[in-house]
């Protein structure tokens, strides 16, 4: 009986030690297990940025493509009137010529069409390739009398793109708008007051940025608001 008691005691002690050892190994695995979800998200983000880089290379003519380096990244926009996150394409040539392309959307929302719309012209890219300065996007440097004709006039109702797929309606307050803090020669084609009260500016006179509000849509919204009230 005494020998049996001793054996049982050792069995219990060994079982406790074995249990503790297994628990410790599990604890180590949990503590040092890589965050698979975070790693997967990083891989997806990296693949999206690489895809935009390939698209960008395709938009640069083959003769100067080998002399360029691209960097794609997302940046948080501090301006409440712009998209929360912008995608930036930095273009640097071996000559030292460089420039940037800003897209008002997250990288996952960028399409080839968006990139083509905002990408520099071949003429601008060639100047950067030679190490020359070329402004992009171009800022008109002219007097009021020389301002080019815009598609819309003050007082017209329009829709402005405020996100990758989001459009808000408003009315044009001013054409060829600029702020005192902007560098010389920097102008915005339109200053717009949105129906929600915000005042924004349209950085370009393009259909992808600002477009005419569909006929009757404002009337429908007013009627809907009156009905809800």
Q: What is the pLDDT of residues 140-154, one digit of tens each?
A: 555 444 678 899 999
- What is the H or E stretch that residue 159 is in? strand 157-161
Mean pLDDT of the chain: 77
Rounded to whole angstroms, the Cα distance separating 111 from 127 reads 26
Give Cα 202 distance to the centre of its chain.
Answer: 17
Confidence (pTM): 0.50
The answer, yes or no, to whether the previous bond of 137 is cis (omega within 30 of 0) is: yes
Q: Given pLDDT bands bounded at 50, 70 and 90, which one contains residue 138?
A: low
Q: Given pLDDT bands bounded at 50, 70 and 90, which one contains residue 84?
A: confident
36 or 105, which is more confident?
105
Which alpha helices (H) appear in 33-174, and where do they start and end?
36-58, 62-65, 112-118, 122-129
Whole-number pLDDT of residue 141: 52
182 or 50, which is more confident?
50
Of 123, 107, 124, give the one whose Cα is nearest residue 115.
107
Average pLDDT of the segment spanning 56-62: 95
């Amino acid at each position: 009986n005494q020998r049996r008691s001793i054996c049982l005691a050792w069995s219990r002690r060994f079982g406790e030690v074995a249990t503790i050892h297994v628990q410790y190994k599990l604890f180590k695995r949990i503590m040092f297990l890589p965050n698979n979800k975070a790693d997967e998200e990083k891989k997806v983000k990296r693949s999206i940025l690489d895809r935009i880089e390939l698209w960008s290379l395709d938009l640069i003519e083959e003769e100067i493509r080998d002399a360029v380096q691209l960097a794609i990244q997302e940046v948080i926009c501090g301006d409440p009137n712009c998209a929360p996150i912008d995608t930036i394409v930095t273009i640097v040539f071996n000559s030292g010529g460089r420039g940037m392309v800003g897209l008002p959307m997250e990288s996952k929302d960028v399409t080839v069409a968006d990139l083509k719309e905002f990408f520099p012209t071949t003429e601008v890219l060639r100047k950067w390739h030679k190490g020359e300065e070329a402004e992009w996007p171009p800022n008109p440097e002219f007097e009021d009398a020389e301002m080019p004709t815009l598609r819309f006039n003050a007082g017209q109702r329009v829709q402005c793109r405020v996100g990758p797929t989001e459009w808000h309606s408003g009315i044009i307050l001013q054409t060829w708008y600029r702020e005192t803090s902007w560098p010389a020669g920097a102008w915005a084609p339109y200053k717009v007051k949105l129906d929600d009260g915000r005042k924004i500016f349209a950085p370009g006179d393009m259909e992808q940025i600002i477009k005419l509000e569909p006929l009757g849509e404002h009337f429908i919204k007013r009627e809907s608001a009156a009905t809800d009230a």
